[in-house]
Amino acid sequence: MIMEVLRSILKKPATNLYPAEKLEMAEKYRGELKFYPERCIGCKLCMRDCPTGAITIRKVGEKKFEAEIDLGKCIYCGQCVDSCLKKALEITKHIELAQLDPKKLKVVFGHEQAGESPEKPSQGAAE
């Protein structure tokens, strides 16, 4: 054991200096959701299967839907993505979602505001 301890003293630390050093998540990590309003048909299958009721699909116009996702409620299980037959939802590996103000945890993805939602657009969502 002593030898191992001595060897470890010379090694560089096993931990990262987060947040100065960013963490790279696994390729298919389940982080924040992304919504493609143009693909959604408003069937609400995602709402039915969501275990926490974190996602709400609202009709905002003729065949236009927006999604409100409560990041505080969402458990990032990705079931809504599996349930959606139109591939209107996608899971990204963006994980830095903490907020001091609980109101900011409610993110609305819609037609007009796509990109200018209160959150900055998800990183790592590019396919």
Contacts with other proteins by CB under 8 A lie at 1, 4-5, 8, 14, 25-30, 48-51, 75-79, 82-83, 91
b/e string for 95-112 if b means 16 or more Cβ within 10 A?
eebeeeeeeebbbbbbee
**Out of other proteins, ligand SF4, none, which partner does residue 45 contact, by CB within 5 to 8 A per kind?**
ligand SF4
Q: What is the C-alpha to C-alpha distance for residues 59 and 28, in angstroms, rounded to an integer?
A: 30
Q: Is the CB of residue 54 less than 8 Å from the CB of residue 89?
A: no
Residues near ligand SF4 (CB under 6 A):
33, 40-46, 50-52, 54-55, 57, 69, 74-80, 83-84, 86, 88-89
Closer of 16 and 82 to ligand SF4 (Cβ): 82
Closer of 45 and 95 to ligand SF4 (Cβ): 45
Computed on alpha carbons and rounded to an integer, the radius of gyration of the chain in Å comes to 19
Closer of 64 and 104 to other proteins (Cβ): 104
Min separation Cβ 78 and other proteins, Å: 7
Reported as type and span, the H/E element at residue 45 is: helix 45-49
Closer of 8 and 113 to ligand SF4 (Cβ): 113
**Cα angle 57-59-60, degrees, rounded to a multiple of 5:** 120
